Chain A
Amino acid sequence: MRQVIHIFNKEFKDYFISPIAYIVISVFLIVTGWLFFSTFFLYNQVSLRNFFSLLPLIFSFVIPAITMRLFSEEINIGSYEILLTMPVTFKDVIFGKLLAGIAMVVSMLLPTFTYAITVAFLGELDWGPIIGGYFGAILMGAAFTSIGLFASSLTRNQIIAFIIGMAICFSLTLLDKMLFLFPGSILGVIGYIGADFHFQNISKGIIDTRDIIYFISVMVISLYGAQLAMQEKN
């Protein structure tokens, strides 16, 4: 556990030493801020529902950009050898990196809390869905971070890692909007695989164990995939 914290510290600090953190956070805030507030007054509703419904799509692009370097860079410069020959296990490494990615997602979401405060001035805001929304956003962020880690473990090229990660996250997000393409008998299953479906449930303020289990399953499968991919390289 101690090692996880040291690796987390290093990876999280790295985001802020390089320009990545600042670029990603700015892009995220500009895009969500614009898309949310440009239609906010048309709806004339005091809620962040539209903001949360944007998140799955935006996360699909932004989170792979955060996670793309986590393994690719290590493989590329060879520092993975240094890391793994210090007294750490692979679990320490992957959890350290996962937590750093999640912490980055959280620091990206933190400024958006001002949206909620701004909106609260305009009318009576129901805080239940807001808390559910942020909880769901962090869960989904964690799941996408795991997918990004998996993509990053596949290649030494960060751009390829980004594209693979984005492709997987994007497919999961859009899956339940493409249901008309599938035969009726498997609709239920396909619908269940879609990330958006589960996220929207939570962001309405409904905390259902099925949705939590879904995101945790995505994390477990992705992290296991990453472990296999890294082992395969040795």
Chain B
Amino acid sequence: MIHVENLTKYYNEFCAVDQINLHIRKGEILGLLGPNGAGKTTTLRMLTGFFLPTSGNIHVKNYSIREHSLEIKKLIGYLPESAPLYHNMLVYDYLDYVANIRGLTPDQKIARLKKLAALCGLNNIMHKPISELSKGLKQRVGIAHAMMSDPEILVLDEPTSGLDPNQIVEIREIIRQIGKEKTIVLSTHILSEAEAACDRVVIINQGKIVADGSTESLRQTGNREYDIRLSLLNANIDHVQKQLMAIDGISGISPSVSDDSTVLNLTLACKSDDDIRSTIYQKIKETDWILIDFHQEGKSLENIFRELTKEN
């Protein structure tokens, strides 16, 4: 659906986006991840036709951003970072204005406004000036703005930044709702968000793509470091430690005992290219410990992110 080829953007001497190639499929929810100043917003601004790339090109369907930016703008709904809406307008007036610009007929407009008001929870604030809205509400108006023409592609720049946890959940819920039928590109620097909302994650650092894949596949890249969590009954800490440390590949054990001191919880730090879970299980079977929980925790996305984006 969206093809990005050798996309490059210079601000004077500074290279904000450097030779990015990306192919976004229809119906995908793509998370653009990266530290501040990595080039996420710049990429999105080029995709939405706000400015042209220095070199390279973007094709949306069969349209090129250089020649058919108007057609592309019709296909894309865009919510810029922190929803910079006109302060002095009422929510209704603003959405009405957007609907007019998006070319909705008066009949379509009313139906669409009703639908969006229900989806984004705007029914009670339609008559309020935008300047009086809280950040979360403004963000919702921004999403309604982006969805006005029922676009095939939705581009959201940090849709949850600066919101409180409840609002974040609400906005994510809206994104999930929309994501069932639309292609969504969203940028964020919050990892859990990418994990919660996206099918696919692209990590950008210093204008370059450093990782691309599902959150699952990203976890499996890099060093094979992971944690295994165990919960045992009828086990003695010292005994357990002695038995388990003998296994090759376990580099550390951090035990903790539950409040009623019956359950022993262990976190095993593992560093191995092979799966050592079967070895651990065999070991436990030989003893009379009772295993009540046993699972592997993937390498946290935070670690991968830090590894990929640290300054060289």
Interface residues of A, Cβ cutoff 8 Å to B: 2-3, 6-7, 9-10, 13-14, 17-18, 77-79, 81-82, 84-89, 234
Contacts and interface: CB of A to CB of B under 8 A. Distances in A.
B45 interface: yes
Nearest to B90: A17
Given A86-B98, A86-B101, A89-B70, A79 B50 contact: no
Contacts of B51: 234
B101 A6 contact: yes
B73 interface: yes
Contacts of A89: 70
A99 B17 CA distance: 38
B97 A81 contact: no
User: Which 8 pairs across A and B sit closest by C-beta, in order of nearness?
Assistant: A78-B84, A234-B51, A87-B73, A85-B48, A6-B100, A85-B78, A81-B80, A87-B74
A202 B102 CA distance: 41
Contacts of A88: 73, 101
Contacts of B103: 2, 87
B89 A17 contact: yes
Contacts of B76: 85
B70 A79 contact: no
B145 A82 contact: yes
A93 to B, nearest CB: 11
A10 to B, nearest CB: 5
A142 B103 CA distance: 28
Contacts of B74: 87
Contacts of A87: 70, 73-74, 101-103
B87 interface: yes
A18 B86 CA distance: 12
B86 A86 contact: no
Contacts of A18: 88
A77 B97 contact: no
B50 A85 contact: yes
A78 B100 contact: no
B13 to A, nearest CB: 16
B191 to A, nearest CB: 26
A77 B84 contact: yes
B308 interface: no
Given A81-B45, A85-B80, A87-B102, 7 more contacts: A17-B88, A77-B87, A79-B86, A86-B73, A86-B101, A87-B74, A234-B50
